[in-house]
Chain A
Amino acid sequence: GAGVSQSPSNKVTEKGKDVELRCDPISGHTALYWYRQSLGQGLEFLIYFQGNSAPDKSGLPSDRFSAERTGGSVSTLTIQRTQQEDSAVYLCASSLGNGSPETQYFGPGTRLLVL
């Protein structure tokens, strides 16, 4: 079946602009995660959605970062007033959400470059 999809695959933006990154999880998965993969920082957790519960935002690096998940499916990660240090690959993952620990299935990522 279809895996996790992310769009766009690549995004180049100018410093100070806002960007939106999209994630389509695997159908039926109620848990959704965002991670960031950057040189020097490795893979970092950003935010976690589980069903209708309040999201775990503990990994968001600043208030310029936000995410929402509409209808329990598609998620959008928004970065406002982008900075060069935001350049990274943003990975989305989803899981069934019915137990712990769960296997997280990752999308191919969005490569963001802030000039």
Chain B
Amino acid sequence: AQSVTQLGSHVSVSEGALVLLRCNYSSSVPPYLFWYVQYPNKGLQLLLKYTSAATLVKGINGFEAEFKKSETSFHLTKPSAHMSDAAEYFCAVSPGGGNKLVFGAGTILRVKS
């Protein structure tokens, strides 16, 4: 079965610091991978997705993620955190290109001023 593991349920960074949210997947077939963000009391919003084209994917709000097959990872990064980045982030896999998403447990990002 395909699954996603997000290391760290809570991550805290200072404003202006690097953001690194970790995601590892397991999939027996080439996966499609997604990062979603959920702001307080809001629905999920797509940040970026990997669809087997470029391994470095750029998303909205300055976020990017790199697909590393050898490490089965799809970590999310942003060079400089902003207060508005405080939210919960979910990594998800769509195994084999199907449309059913399997989500990780989520990582709550806190940005300190």
Would you call B49 and A42 a contact (CB within 8 A)? no
A10 CB, min distance to chain B CBs, angstroms: 11
Residues on B lying within 8 angstroms of A by beta carbon are: 32, 34, 36, 41-46, 49, 51, 90, 92, 94, 97-106
Contact A101:B94 (CB < 8 A) given known A42-B103, A56-B100: yes
Pair count A-B, CB < 8 A: 59
Would you call B97 and A91 a contact (CB within 8 A)? no
B38 CB, min distance to chain A CBs, angstroms: 8
Would you call A100 and B103 a contact (CB within 8 A)? no
- Size of the chain A interface, CB-CB below 8 angstroms: 27
Would you call A4 and B43 a contact (CB within 8 A)? yes
Contact A108:B99 (CB < 8 A) given known A42-B104, A42-B106, A103-B49: no
Cα–Cα distance between A31 and B94 once the two chains are bound (Å): 15
Cα–Cα distance between A42 and B49 once the two chains are bound (Å): 20
Specify the chain A residue showing the minimal Cβ separation from B6.
A42
Would you call A45 and B97 a contact (CB within 8 A)? no
Chain B residues with Cβ below 8 Å from A56 are: 100
Chain B residues with Cβ below 8 Å from A95 are: 99
Cα–Cα distance between A48 and B44 once the two chains are bound (Å): 17
